[in-house]
Copies of this chain bind each other. A is one copy, B any other.
Amino acid sequence: MTVRKELLNNIRIVDPYVPGEQPRQKVVKLNTNENPYPPAPEVKAVFDELKEDEFRLYPDPTSGKLIKALADQLKVGEDQIFVGVGSDDVLSLCFLTFFNSEKPILFPDITYSFYQVWANLYRIPYVCPKLDGKFRIVKEDYYKVNGGIIFPNPNAPTAIYEEVDFIEDILRHNRDNIVIIDEAYVDFAGKSAISLIDRYDNLIVTQTFSKSRSMAGMRIGYAVSNPELIRCLNDVKYSFNSYTMSCAAISCGAAALENTEYFKTNISKIVQTRENVKEQLRDLGFECTDSKANFLFVTHPRYDALKLFEELKEAGIYVRHWNDPKIKDYLRITIGTDEEMKIFLDFLKKKIGA
């Protein structure tokens, strides 16, 4: 049965966004910036103890247990946190809630690709200042008239982190605009801009459980700001769907925050692997940005990135490549375990080192 033209007239037609590949067969999976280590043991323990009654009942619409655990962890009020189904859900709601100006919002020309998708979906005008020759954000570009600002720190896929005073300079020049700092990777990098929340009422910081907390599968993200902006987000969220966070996400998310020791060890293992791999790639002639994330952004002067991407894939090693002309010579490589990175490096050594 084909749907008739008459019926299609009033349907919203959008450019389909196709998510990255999620191979289910056994591969060395270095393509979607997941954490190679399992979540804290507390998570599985809490998960296994979830009562059947919690399945049949609606979850707490305020996600109270998770909000409380985050507030304790981040040393902010419970009314300063908003949780959602991954940071994509949180960021998408932020676009809808906070970017309602006629003036264009600003985000870098090389950055997380979903910003453009949301801006188009919600018909928000936008301008994308260029990164400099070293893939750095030029802060002065964000001092001009705008309807809001968003960028990740560290930026993706460049992996470059800017210090908190850089963020503060942008906040100071944008007192009447909302500035969203997307800190998906900040735990691998340095200080969070959450430290500025009390001084800048225009700041929203988002973070996620998908990277440093090893919980991409459970879909948990959150925003931190002042109570007034968080209330605006909640009001919009409750008009879509009161119960977005499942019983499992709420309980496991709270449990994931309990074990700081495990968290720190996990992070430092990944950072150490990252620095080792960076060095070995440089020895092989690769150029890497100064990555502070759980991935590397690399190019080789003598090897075609797309070709290398395909050869790696054929060998069962998945990394990420974009056809965007600005970054088509680069690959993004997620930091896996030392064993996974050895397989990756051995392949490159055979190919390039020879």
Contact = CB atoms under 8 A, between A and B. Distances in A.
Given A61-B22, A247-B217, A239 B50 contact: no
Given A57-B216, A178-B7, A217-B58, A12 B238 contact: no
B11 A218 contact: no
Interface string A95-116: 0111111000000000000000
Interface residues of A, number: 93
Contacts of A13: 232, 235
A283 to B, nearest CB: 30
A246 B243 contact: no
B14 A86 contact: no
Interface in A8-31: 9-19, 22, 24, 29
B53 A50 contact: no
Given A3-B229, A38-B53, A58-B22, A241 B85 contact: yes
A47 interface: yes
B32 A55 contact: no
A157 interface: no
A88 B240 contact: yes
- Determine which residue in A19, A32, A229 has the highest number of CB atoms from chain B within 10 A of its CB, and name it: A19
A74 interface: no
Given A3-B226, A98-B11, A201-B7, A56 B32 contact: no
A147 interface: yes
B216 A58 contact: yes
Contacts of A57: 22, 29, 34, 216-217
B217 A54 contact: yes
Contact of A14 (B15, B85, B235): B235
Contacts of A252: 55
B100 A12 contact: yes
Given A226-B3, A246-B249, A121 B239 contact: yes
Contacts of A120: 239
B10 A148 contact: yes
Given A22-B57, A92-B241, A219-B245, 6 more contacts: A10-B100, A11-B100, A19-B242, A47-B47, A55-B252, A218-B247
In the complex, the 5 A-B pairs of residues with the closest C-beta atoms, listed nearest first: A19-B242, A217-B247, A38-B52, A10-B101, A88-B241
28 contacts: A3-B226, A6-B175, A7-B175, A7-B178, A10-B99, A10-B148, A11-B178, A11-B229, A12-B232, A16-B234, A16-B238, A19-B61, A19-B242, A22-B61, A43-B55, A47-B50, A56-B215, A56-B217, A58-B210, A85-B85, A85-B241, A89-B240, A120-B239, A217-B246, A218-B247, A219-B245, A246-B249, A248-B248
Interface of A: 1-4, 6-7, 9-19, 22, 24, 29, 32, 34-39, 43-44, 47-48, 50, 52-61, 85-86, 88-89, 92, 96-101, 117-118, 120-121, 147-148, 175-178, 198, 201-202, 210, 214-219, 226, 228-229, 232, 234-236, 238-249, 252
